[in-house]
Structure 1
């Protein structure tokens, strides 16, 4: 699958599923100034590079696989801010990186890795959160090997016009080259993380929902604002729908709705809107349903 080249995205995508709301990206340029990091197109400003990489895009649109032009201002604009050190502790470690072996079989023992819990629910397409890895979750069998992830266990260093990582030697002069520096350690992918999984479980809530019927369809609305489209999912079975929504500031809604009647799961669909997810269920029989869930009948 191609990988999206939009700033702030980097996800793999299928052409057939690349609709007008598939990509959440930044239209502006990176801005590193006086220790703060952000994008020229939106307001959030953060202190660390990890937080900068997690700033959600401010624009929705289809994914793109078009390469950036060599004179893309995305590159040039980074150079203006390279003279400002992002964190004092990163500058102090820059000189020490020369002694680091460039390829290590595992991350340093003194920096324990965060790992996904064995029972973590990972939506298809979720991106690995480890530095330098752009893998997307496909299935447990395909994406949960013990050393499938090649990543950087260290932190980003931007110093005197060069960019790199505290854990290995390579240095780059522009941001795109920096993002292509190969990882120097191996571990299992990190799609959720133990801490985030625990926080998500603690914040799990019930969302308001309603439904109505038109012709051969049942329309279900589940209300939630600022839905994270990359972390959320809706799956259809013949007699149930499974909903996983991440919205707001990481609040999680999980539900399995056991339907009154059967549906054609291939003809059913859903759409993320500004205040809700709207789910269209294609009934296999035209008779109206007295209730949405069979357990309530």
Structure 2
């Protein structure tokens, strides 16, 4: 099946089911300014690169598999000017050799445990891969995944990874930088979840809520959430929040709601500094408080 090349999509699709509402994508370009990352076509901004990639598309349309052809205005062919470049001059020997810069430490490479169940339509979580899971026989071979073990780095207009040297000016070109390491695909991940289960110190998270229309929006403020190990369960009269922080601390809370909600019409989203839970009220009456025990 072809893969959609629109920004923010990347899904595989069948031409027979490719209608005018099949693709949710960003028609604009990536925009990075003062540490915030977003798209020129919509307002959401994120600090984390992973959160930026998870910003939902702001426009609907059909999928497209057409390759992107963009001329990079930042690139120039300087070979024709080689004859006018000055000869390099040898640098004066330093009085004392400066200590070599310490290479940035990368996180240990996470691995799926043997026999772990893989969710349907799961994709490899490793940076620069994103391959779709097919079966253990075809998707569990060693050295099959080509990925970046480092983190995304953006500096003075260039984009790259801490684990290798290639840099790009254009965002699409950055996303095409080939991985510099090989290993097995990572569809589930266990390292940080296992650390959290062993340490599991309690965490305190601030929360608030507001009402808009027929919805109640609850925010639980927490940074560096391990999304694979965290969960939010929505029931008709309560919500259960389980958040695992990157450092291993755990936040558990059961909120018994003032009124009933429609779980199927409710949703939640992990953001860089919080979890936002949007609850669809079963009845339109306003809630004076969030929890019925506080009424």
TM range (shorter): 0.5 to 0.7
Number of aligned residue pairs: 186
Cα separation, 1, equivalents of 2:57 and 2:158: 25
User: Whole-Å Cα distance in 1 between the matches of residues 19 and 135 of structure 2?
Assistant: 23
Is residue 160 of structure 1 aligned with residue 156 of structure 2?
Answer: yes
Q: Which runs of 5 or more structure 2 residues have no equivalent in the other structure?
A: 75-99, 194-226, 238-261, 271-279, 281-295
| Residue equivalent to 2:181 | 185
Q: Is the 8 A contact 1:31 1:38 kept in 2?
A: yes
> Equivalents in 2 of 1:40, 1:131: separation in Å?
23
1:119 pairs, out of 104, 116, 120, with 116
What is the root-mean-square deviation of aligned Cα atoms in Å? Answer: 3.4
More RCO (CA 8 Å, sep 6+) = 1
Report whether the alignment pairs 1:46 with 2:46: yes
1:244-270, CA deviations, whole angstroms, 9 ceiling, x for partnerless residues?
Answer: xxx5337xxxxxxxxxxxxxxxxxxxx
Q: Contact 1:11–1:136 at 8 Å: present in 2 too?
A: no
2: CA distance, partners of 1:57 / 1:204: 25
Are 1:41 and 1:58, in contact at CA under 8 Å, matched by a contact in 2? yes
Distance in 2, Cα, partners of 1:34 & 1:169:
23
- Do the aligned partners of 2:159 and 2:174 also contact (CA within 8 Å) in 1? yes
Match of 1:27 in 2: 27
Partner of 1:224: 264
d(CA) in 2 for partners of 1:144 and 1:19? 34
Match of 1:51, SS state, is helix
- Cα distance in 2, alignment partners of residues 123 and 76 from structure 1: 41
How many Å separate the matches in 1 of 2:17 and 2:144? 26
1:11 aligns with 2:11: yes
Q: Secondary structure of 1:24's partner? A: strand
Residue of structure 2 equivalent to 1:176: 172
Structure 2 residue aligned with 1:134: 130
Alpha-carbon distance in 2 for matches of 1:8, 1:112? 28
Larger Rg: 2
Aligned residues of 2:26 and 2:41 also touching (Cα < 8 A): yes
> Of 176, 190, 199, which residue of structure 1 is paired with 2:230?
199
1:10 shift after superposition: 2.1
Aligned counterparts of 1:63 and 1:28: Cα–Cα separation in 2 = 16
1:220-279, Cα deviation, whole Å (9 max, x unpaired):
xx96247xxxxxxxxxxxxxxxxxxxx5337xxxxxxxxxxxxxxxxxxxxxxxx9xxxx
Report the CA distance shift for 1:191/1:21 in structure 2 as closer, same or farther (over 3 A).
farther
Name the CA shift for 1:249/1:57 in 2 (closer, same or farther; >3 Å): same
